[in-house]
Amino acid sequence: MKRYSQALLPIPQGTFHLCAYAESEEEKMPHLALFSTEMDLSKPVNVRIHSECLTGDLFGSKRCDCGEQLDTSLKIISETNGLLIYLRQEGRGIGLIQKLNAYQLQDKGLNTIDANLHLGFGVDDRNFDEAIEILKDIGITQVNLLTNNPEKIKAFEGSGIELVERIPLIINARQENEGYLDVKKNILGHLF
């Protein structure tokens, strides 16, 4: 995987570099790195590794907390000159079509884990190795990681990048995602 393109991107939170990473230049859905033009690599950088969630990130779905985590992270990286990695791993790595199939099963009473397993997938089919590659390409050696996910913390073990601090992303539960957040906390071990 390598960086194929980079451009300045002004968004409401500030002006950032946006870089596209992929295996080939023909990739239509590359991973993205969005980072402050003022980022200081001599100290720990606030980093969010965010897996794509079209329903939450774009449409503001209340079934999950993904969109709210993305918004909160963008505010933090804007204020602290940090970095956001946007990994194309929709639906914990199962893709959008299967994620919608999992939603149908959840509407019939299965939780998010059981729905994925029922469809023949793992509990979480994501991989964070590519995020580590992106951080190394940018030259980041120390991070403060914005996450509640222990698997993202484990991704730094033996990576050569020092995880200095974990910054929790606390999103208030609502009726529509209370069960989802409960599964994340009590079954997946997310740190709230």
pLDDT values of the chain reduced to their tens digit, one per residue, 192 residues:
999 999 999 999 889 999 999 999 999 999 999 999 999 999 999 999 999 999 999 999 999 999 999 999 999 999 999 999 999 999 999 999 999 999 999 999 999 999 999 999 999 999 999 999 999 999 999 999 999 999 999 999 999 999 999 999 988 888 888 888 777 778 787 887
Closest CA to 147 of 176, 126, 133: 126
What CATH architecture is 2-89+126-186?
Answer: 3-Layer(aba) Sandwich (3.40)
124 is catalytic: yes
Please tell me which residue in 114, 124, 125, 166 is annotated as part of the active site. 124
174 is catalytic: no
